Amino acid sequence: KAGVTQTPRYLIKTRGQQVTLSCSPISGHRSVSWYQQTPGQGLQFLFEYFSETQRNKGNFPGRFSGRQFSNSRSEMNVSTLELGDSALYLCASTFQETQYFGPGTRLLVL
Amino acid sequence: GEDVEQSLFLSVREGDSSVINCTYTDSSSTYLYWYKQEPGAGLQLLTYIFSNMDMKQDQRLTVLLNKKDKHLSLRIADTQTGDSAIYFCAESVNQAGTALIFGKGTTLSVSS
């Protein structure tokens, strides 16, 4: 089976812009979770989607949002980008209590 | 709130055993995980343990869980230079294992 895929792999934006990242889970996996990884804060849970519904949410501001489509693909959106949003954004799909991570999207906000 | 702590750095010689330690706070965690991250890459699942187990062995990897002390360890036998990476301990804050709290990671450096 193909692994979790994320697009794009790299992205450069400027402050105030918005960005949309995409994640395709492993075939058959219905849960997609998103994480932000920064050198200072480490890996932090953003949110999880299951059957097109947000099922769990971390402690991030409302500028961070997501959605899931009927084919389980997920997108996350960050509006009004700030310099501190520069990070590696990882998504993971879950099967039998085990998360499998994609390679991540590296976002740089200038 | 939930928190996971790990030592930040470990240096070993090739062929030695490595032991990476982790403490967590949420006693209701159902699953505990170890992930590996190499430079520029995503997270690779190494192994996980269910909270009602004390030990799990998987080839060169041994996980020990002390639930009373909320202490988790990962032992890598016969450590190789290819094991050099960052190792993350994580606890699941829900039964489904879809929301993980990660430690800051332990950088393992293996010298030949």
Each residue of B64-104: pLDDT tens digit? 999 999 999 999 999 999 999 999 999 998 888 889 999 99
Show residues of chain A in contact with B56, CB under 8 Å. Answer: none
pLDDT at residue B38, rounded to an integer: 93
**Which parts of chain A sit beneath pLDDT 50?**
none
Summarize the confidence of residues B6-33 as an average pLDDT: 92
Residue A100 and residue A91: Cα distance in Å, rounded? Answer: 8
Sorted by sequence, the CB contacts under 8 Å of residue B34 that are 6+ apart come out as B20, B45, B46, B47, B48, B61, B63, B74, B87, B88, B89, B90
**Is B30 an interface residue toward A (CB < 8 Å)?**
yes
The pLDDT assigned to B90 comes to 95
Contact assignment for A97 to B88 by CB distance below 8 Å: no
Give pLDDT tens digits for B23-37: 998 777 789 999 999
- Chain A residue with minimum CA distance to B40: A103
Query: Strand, coil or helix: what is A17?
Result: coil
Q: Looking at the predicted structure, is the pLDDT value of residue B63 above 80?
A: yes
| Averaged pLDDT, B41-48 | 92
- Cis peptide preceding A61, ω within 30 of 0: no
pLDDT at B1: 62
Structure tokens at B110: 């293996």
Chosen for mutation from B35, B37, B43 (greatest number of chain A CBs closer than 10 Å) is B43
Residues 6+ apart with CB under 8 A from A63: A78, A79, A80
pLDDT of res. A17: 98
> B9: distance to nearest CA of chain A, Å?
15
Q: Which of B98, B101, B106 is the best residue to mutate to test the A interface, defined by the most A CB atoms within 10 Å of its own CB? A: B98
Supply the pLDDT for residue A94.
Answer: 93
